[in-house]
A and B are shown apart, each in its own frame.
Chain A
Amino acid sequence: DVKVTQSSRYLVKRTGEKVFLECVQDMDHENMFWYRQDPGLGLRLIYFSYDVKMKEKGDIPEGYSVSREKKERFSLILESASTNQTSMYLCASSSWTDSSYNSPLHFGNGTRLTVT
């Protein structure tokens, strides 16, 4: 089974702090994603990476940056946390070659971030 692991389940940070959310996957997947999930809005893509050091902006990249130095690890960085970044953050991975089901996303358990 694919395992996507997020380093923290719950985080509480203060406004203005720099926040790092870490994600590791163990299935050698090429693609990794960061989403945020808010009630009534569904999952919204923040950033996507299809290879080491490669990144693409998603729908809501403002206030976020990412880093992918190794294939298995994808980090989300909040440069200066704000209260409107309080949310559930979900990391996911997928493979180009998982053609049996057209490369579904495999999700981590999420990090619930509260910014006060």
Chain B
Amino acid sequence: GQNIDQPTEMTATEGAIVQINCTYQTSGFNGLFWYQQHAGEAPTFLSYNVLDGLEEKGRFSSFLSRSKGYSYLLLKELQMKDSASYLCAVRDEDNYGQNFVFGPGTRLSVLP
């Protein structure tokens, strides 16, 4: 079956580094996506991994290990505006390769 796991909530301090983990089991794999969603707003695309390794994008980095079914999102130099939910999603092979399976999301609170 399809399953994606993430921690439900995390708390970190402004200026710190936080790592949000995601493990997945899906039928097929066509990439892993991270989205950020502020309360009451639309999810917005953050990063994409399809090969093993680290992708860096400013303060945000995302890592993928396909053999382990594992990814993490690393947020550096945390700011208050990073308080949001972070959604891990895997694109599998269903629906003509347009099927996204989402995890439950991790709510991150950044404290001063």
Interface positions of A (Cβ within 8 A of B): 4, 31, 33, 35, 40-45, 48, 50, 56, 58, 90, 94, 101-110
Contact = CB atoms under 8 A, between A and B. Distances in A.
Nearest to B49: A102
Given A42-B105, A104-B48, A110-B41, 17 more contacts: A4-B42, A31-B98, A35-B102, A40-B8, A40-B104, A42-B102, A43-B89, A45-B100, A50-B95, A50-B96, A90-B43, A102-B91, A105-B43, A105-B45, A106-B45, A109-B41, A110-B42
Contacts of B40: 110
Interface residues of B, number: 26
A41 B6 CA distance: 11
A56 B97 CA distance: 12
Contacts of B105: 42
Nearest to B47: A101
Interface of A: prevailing SS: strand
Contact of B103 (A33, A42, A48, A106): A42
B33 interface: yes
Nearest to B34: A104
Interface string B97-112: 0111011110000000
B54 interface: no
A110 B39 CA distance: 11
B102 A108 contact: no
Nearest to B50: A102
A107 B44 contact: yes
B42 A94 contact: no
A65 B16 CA distance: 46
